[in-house]
Amino acid sequence: MMTTPLAPEIIWFNPSDSYYDDPINTLGVVSKSSIGQGLLGAHYGFEEQNPSVGVWVMVWNTLKEHQSFMEHESYVDFALPVMEAMVGPGEITQVLLSQHNEFLKAVASPVTQFIYVTIRPRHDRNYELAPLVEKLANELALVPGCNGSSWGPSVEHDDMYVGVVGWRCISDRDRAVKGSLAPTIALIREISKIKLKYARLQLHETS
């Protein structure tokens, strides 16, 4: 029996002053307005390399529940505080992740790495990229300092895979990338572009 994938939204954004000063207030309103709508929790933090950029990981139980909520009249009560917390548009990617436990370990780690892998033209995401991503995930499971990794296709971009990887520290990640993971990463780079972001996340549980 296949597990229904989680559908987390990863949102990078420029925070408003009010959000930057008190993120808990916004997340409290978001939590109350989404009760019973499939939001399991919201992880929040700031980009490690650029702390002026905020990040949310809104963990939806299923894509269907999220899409149904978006069509409901009460969705405005959820969307409005989200929009007010952002200055300008955010960078939003929703991902389908089947490795639930690995994902939860990754976002609870001291450092969470977000890996955006975009397949190059004339290559195939499912036929060429997916097997390499699976190989990398299996290798990550053996890496000291890696607390969990979960990978899946982007909902919005049919040429993208996204990985969420938890690390004990950045130096563990650096050693792994230069060591045992290097050959597989090189193969992935041959057919794709890779963008990396890092954050130290906290969990705001739903009400």
Each residue's pLDDT tens digit in the chain (207 positions)?
A: 457 899 999 999 999 999 988 999 989 988 888 888 899 999 999 999 999 999 999 999 999 999 999 998 888 999 999 999 999 889 999 999 999 999 999 999 999 999 999 999 999 998 999 999 999 999 999 999 999 999 999 999 999 999 999 999 999 999 999 999 999 999 999 999 999 999 999 999 775
Q: Which of 65, 141, 129, 142 is nearest to 102 (CA)?
A: 141
User: Do the first three CATH levels of 9-97 and 100-197 match, i.e. the same topology?
Assistant: yes
Between CA 47 and CA 52 the distance in angstroms is 7
Task: Say if domain 9-97 classifies as CATH 3.30.70.100.
Answer: yes
Helix, strand, coil shares, percent, the chain, to 5: 35, 35, 30
Tell me the C-alpha distance between 29 and 24, whole Å. Answer: 9
Strand order in the sheet with 111-119: 146-153, 160-167, 111-119, 192-199
pTM above 0.75, yes or no: yes
Where does 100-197 sit in CATH, by number? 3.30.70.100
- H-helix or E-strand spanning residue 118: strand 111-119
N residues, the chain: 207
Name residue 161's beta-bridge partners: 117, 153
Which phi and psi (to 5°) does residue 141 adopt? -65, -20
The domain limits of the chain are 9-97, 100-197
The CB-side HSE value for 34 (13 A sphere, CA atoms) comes to: 29
Residue with structure tokens 């894509």? 63
Q: How far apart are the first and last CA of the chain?
A: 30
Greatest CA separation for the chain:
51
